[in-house]
Chain A
Amino acid sequence: MADALVWLVALPLAGALATLLLPRAATAVALATGLATGTAAAALLYGVATQGPLHYAIGGWTAGLGIALRADGLSALLVTMTALVVLAASVYSSAYFGDGSQRARFWPLWMLLWTALNALLLSGDLFNLYVTLELLGLSAVALAALGTTTAAVQAALRYLLVGLLGSMLFLAGVSLIYTGYGTLDMATLAAVVEPGPVVWPALALMTAGLLLKTALFPLHFWLPPAHASAPAPVSAVLSALVVKAAFYLVLRLWVDVFADAVTAAAAALLGVLGAAAVLWGSWRALRAARLKLLAAYSTVAQLGYLFMFFPLLHALPPGPARDLAVGGLVILALTHGFAKAGLFLAIGVIQQRSGHDTIGELDGTAQRLPATTFAIALAGVALIGLPPSGAFLGKWQLLAASFATGQWWWIVVTAIGSLLAAAYTFRVLGRAFGHRPYPNQPVTVAREEWPALLLGAAAAVLLGLAGAPVWKLLEASA
């Protein structure tokens, strides 16, 4: 079962090369690779659920010199989410890219992005994280630059420079850690780390770099333009997975590796920035004129919720209450991944049909595409955090943890944020009610509309009703 770790990195990499060498069969090769990787992800999830954390030393070299791949409950869940989202978006892309030349450039980069994501989620040491972080950034930028407008290229370039800056800061932190402890293996470090003059600057540098990459307020300025001008499937993956990967790293470092070094003040700072992100992002989303901009700002806001968990996790002593909160955080992240991907894919359908995504002029299109509008509604329900979505369970845990620790101000922020999210969601959905006749067929282009619907349904219904195993999985590998 531990072999799945290697397959998850090797298969998409092979797929990238294959699609590069066989441009004419690229779509078929990509989808085949996708299915294979998806199977490997399922195998990984099953393995972690039954055997606990999995470990694989590449080349047989042990930690210290070799590269180790590790998977516990958290990484297995994120790897599975990645696989499902990328698979759905791949099906969508097979119909989206009509233009031959764009298609030839798209698939290799797409597979490379998937490789980077998997490698990052499964890495067991800090330097490997740096490499995969860079690979992720480069492939994401290249994909974002596939957009045809000048604005897209500008946004991609800004994204690249910000990403490089972030990676450099991360590397600086890593080198400080090596200076202090002589090892980069995360499991080893978790055991020996102590608060002090080496760890704090290192953690600060690494976190600063990662916060740039995860677009936490006020370092979020690069995200809306980049996500809004990229092609639809790229935006979907950027918002749902790439920024989530950077957040995963912050979570890993703060809660797992450097847990002993974290102070209450630092955790509170992350929480405050998260709260600001929720309020600012939701407000900007409400004022956005374009659907993609709305979705991009919504990402900024939703990530804020995830950061509000940090002061709560720090204040709760290890025990069932803390486990509940961690599970809530994870299920919130998973739900957002599915919901945001579904939203961007649906917006892509609308943009292709009507040539634009301006909200004010949406009326006819929204009514001609009932399935897509329903997908937007499902995604919206998950973003607001209404039942039966997974986000409802996540926000419940956020509220419960706030009550349990007495930090009631997060409750106010959550309530306002959710109501703002409702405002901007229904601002769009209100356009779907009008005078045009209901088309005789709800779904027009199956390959484009069904992925959006399924992703939306996963977020709004599946994770909410079948989410209990998330807590069990996280518990098994704590």
Chain B
Amino acid sequence: MLTAQWLYGLTGCVVVALGLRAALLHPSLLQRIVAINVMGSGVFLVLIAVAYRGPGVAPDPVPHALVLTGIVVAVSATALALALVRRLRAERNDG
């Protein structure tokens, strides 16, 4: 594998680990949601690194498609999570 791939790939793994740690340890809901998104970014980084085939060569399109799909999924999931957090806050303020 090429050096750039190694660099970005490893960074991706580290980001995933950091996100995981934050998701498991932080008590605040909002921080957990952000942490999961960070994990997602790390995974996307790994996928993009895998797609690289060298300078001047067209990258592998499949991982790119996976990343785009993944981003969409992550956004929808985050939206649902935030909506639920808002509803929970509203119910806590009422009750």
Residues of chain A touching chain B, judged by Cβ–Cβ distance below 8 Å, are: 64-65, 127, 130-131, 134, 137-138, 141-142, 145, 150, 153-154, 156-157, 160-161, 164-165, 167-169, 171-172, 175-176, 178-179, 184
CB pair B66 A127 closer than 8 Å? yes
A161 touches B87 (CB 8 A): no
B88, A168: Cβ atoms closer than 8 Å = no
Chain A residues within an 8 Å CB radius of B19? 168
Is B95 interfacial (CB 8 A cutoff)? Answer: yes
- Contact check, B50 vs A161: say whether CB atoms are below 8 A apart: no
Number of A-B residue pairs with CB-CB distance less than 8 Å in the complex they form:
84
Which residue of chain B is the closest to A64 with respect to CB atoms?
B62
Q: How far is the CB of B62 from chain A (nearest CB, A)?
A: 7
**A145 touching B84 by the CB < 8 A rule?**
yes
Q: Contacts A171-B70, A178-B47, A178-B50 given: A157-B77 contact, CB under 8 Å?
A: no
Q: Evaluate contact between B62 and A65: CB separation under 8 angstroms.
A: yes
A127 touching B69, Cβ below 8 Å? yes
Of A65, A131, A157, A169, most buried by chain B (CB within 10 Å of CB) is: A157
Residues of the A chain whose Cβ atoms lie less than 8 Å from the Cβ of B40: 168, 171
Residues from chain B with Cβ under 8 Å of A161 in the complex: 23, 29, 32-33, 36, 81
Residues of B contacting A127 with CB < 8 Å? 66, 69
Q: Give the distance to chain B from A57, nearest Cβ to Cβ, in Å.
A: 16
Total contacting residues, chain B, CB less than 8 A:
33
List, in ascending order, chain B residues with CB within 8 A of A65's CB: 62
**B95-A138 in contact (CB<8A):** no
Which residues from chain B contact A153 at a C-beta distance below 8 Å? 84, 87-88, 91
**B60-77, CB < 8 A from A:** 62-63, 66, 69-70, 73, 76-77
Q: Is the CB of B43 within 8 A of A171?
A: yes
In the complex, chain A residues whose CB is within 8 Å of the CB of B70: 130, 171
Q: Report A-chain residues with C-beta under 8 Å of the C-beta of B42.
A: 172
Chain B interface secondary structure, helix, strand, loop or mixed? Answer: helix
Given contacts A134-B73, A157-B29, contact A168 B36 (CB under 8 A): yes
A sample of 27 cross-chain residue pairs with beta-carbon separation below 8 angstroms, ordered by A number, consists of A65-B62, A130-B73, A138-B76, A138-B80, A142-B80, A150-B88, A153-B84, A153-B88, A157-B81, A157-B85, A157-B88, A160-B77, A164-B36, A164-B77, A164-B81, A165-B20, A165-B39, A168-B16, A171-B40, A171-B43, A172-B39, A172-B42, A175-B43, A175-B63, A178-B47, A179-B46, A179-B50
Distance (Å) between the CB of A372 and the closest chain B CB? 31
Report the bound CA distance from A153 to B84 in whole Å: 7
Q: For the complex formed, measure the closest distance between the CB of B31 and the CB atoms of chain A, giving whole angstroms.
A: 11
A67 to chain B, nearest CB (A): 11
* A165 & B23 in contact (Cβ 8 Å cutoff): yes
Measured CB to CB, the nearest residue on chain B to A160 is B81
| Smallest CB separation, B35 vs chain A (Å) | 9
> Across the interface, which residues of B come within 8 angstroms of A164, CB to CB?
36, 77, 81
Write the nearest CB–CB distance from A11 to chain B, whole angstroms: 22
